[in-house]
């Protein structure tokens, strides 16, 4: 994985802002969907699809590709938007989100979009899917050739299935498995620490024999360093706990759990797009 030069970081910042604009546009067109999580994870998805992942949008079934499993499928607007901007399908198709017969279902579904690595929706299942892939690669002798990444929410740690997968991966020392937890501190009913406290979350993962890295989910250099650390750990799986701001990029949406599961209205979308476009202009002007 290449070192992040300043020019690359600027490029990633611009791309992440474009992806956030696409998220707002597709949500308002759909009239339903999740806002806070997709906006909060845009930087993480941008880093992976435009710098970290070994993949080929023109050959999505390439056998040697890394695999990115999305566990919290409700944040799929950021997955779809990032994949579209990366060249997997036309950006214009994003406006079919949640429409009847669309490939872009409200939760990712491989029957409709086979280029996805997994179907997801029921929380707590993604890490089990990723553990299965990592175990299969070990059996096939491919666990040194690629990485299996699993993006997860913090709220889905309320699900027992999550911890079964954490325990199994730690027991089998799946070194090519890297989990990324979106630690945004919200879920649909409120703040995680009020509903079902998760802390001390890092210690819980360590107790199951995982290497733990904590990082800001909005600092490209720090994120990149965290991934490099994870890739260098050979004796156990690694979890990157990425602290993110839900609704990142739109001040009115930020840190408000009520935006977990609702889309913006047309007026709110107009306001959000104006803010994001203004931010995009600042990114360009500051680095010219």
Residue 172 is predicted with a pLDDT of 98
Residue 108 lies in a domain: yes
**How confident is the model at residue 288, as a pLDDT?**
59
pLDDT in tens, the chain (288 residues): 678 999 999 999 999 999 999 999 999 999 999 999 999 999 999 999 999 999 999 999 999 999 999 999 999 999 999 999 999 999 999 999 999 999 999 999 999 999 999 999 889 999 999 999 999 999 999 999 899 999 999 999 999 999 999 999 999 999 999 999 999 999 999 999 999 999 999 999 999 999 999 999 999 999 999 999 999 999 999 999 999 999 999 999 999 999 999 999 999 999 999 999 998 888 866 665
Query: What is the model's pLDDT at position 223?
Result: 98
Burial of residue 9 (CB within 10 Å: 0-12, 13-18, 19+) is middle
Which residue in 248, 241, 206, 199 sits closest to 223, CA to CA? Answer: 241
Total count of domains within the chain: 1
Task: Match 């079934």 to its residue by tokens.
Answer: 61
Q: 267: domain CATH number?
A: 3.40.50.970
pLDDT of residue 179: 98
Structure tokens at 216: 């800001």
Q: What is the pTM of this model?
A: 0.97
- Report whether 19 contacts 78 (CB < 8 A): yes
Tell me if 1 is assigned to some domain: no
pLDDT for the residue 282: 80
In a domain, 168, yes or no: yes
Which domain covers residue 124, as residue numbers? 6-286
Q: List beta partners, residue 186.
A: 191
């Amino acid at each position: 994985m290449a070192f992040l030069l300043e020019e690359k970081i600027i490029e990633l910042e611009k791309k992440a802002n474009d992806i956030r604009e696409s998220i707002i546009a597709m949500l308002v067109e759909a009239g339903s969907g999740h806002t806070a999580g997709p906006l909060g994870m845009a930087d993480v998805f941008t880093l992976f699809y435009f710098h970290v992942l070994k993949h080929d949008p023109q050959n999505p079934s390439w056998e040697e590709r890394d695999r990115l499993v999305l566990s919290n499928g409700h944040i799929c607007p950021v997955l779809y938007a990032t994949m579209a901007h990366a060249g997997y399908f036309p950006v214009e198709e994003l406006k079919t989100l949640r429409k009847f017969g669309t490939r872009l279902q409200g939760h990712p579904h491989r029957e409709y979009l086979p280029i996805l690595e997994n179907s997801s929706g029921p929380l707590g299942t993604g890490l089990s899917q990723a553990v299965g892939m990592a175990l299969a690669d070990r059996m096939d002798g491919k666990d040194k050739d690629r990485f299996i990444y699993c993006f997860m929410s913090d709220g889905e740690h309320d699900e027992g299935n999550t911890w079964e997968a954490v325990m199994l991966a730690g027991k089998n020392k799946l070194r090519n498995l890297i989990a990324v937890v979106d630690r945004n501190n919200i879920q649909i009913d409120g703040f995680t620490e009020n509903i079902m406290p998760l802390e001390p979350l890092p210690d819980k993962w360590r107790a199951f024999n995982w290497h733990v890295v904590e990082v800001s989910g909005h600092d490209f250099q720090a994120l990149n360093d965290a991934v490099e650390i994870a890739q260098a750990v050979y004796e156990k799986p690694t979890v990157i706990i990425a602290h993110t701001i839900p609704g990142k990029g739109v001040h009115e949406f930020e840190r408000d759990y009520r935006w977990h599961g609702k889309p913006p209205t047309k007026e709110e979308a107009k306001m959000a797009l104006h803010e994001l476009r203004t931010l995009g202009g600042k990114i360009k002007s500051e680095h010219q």
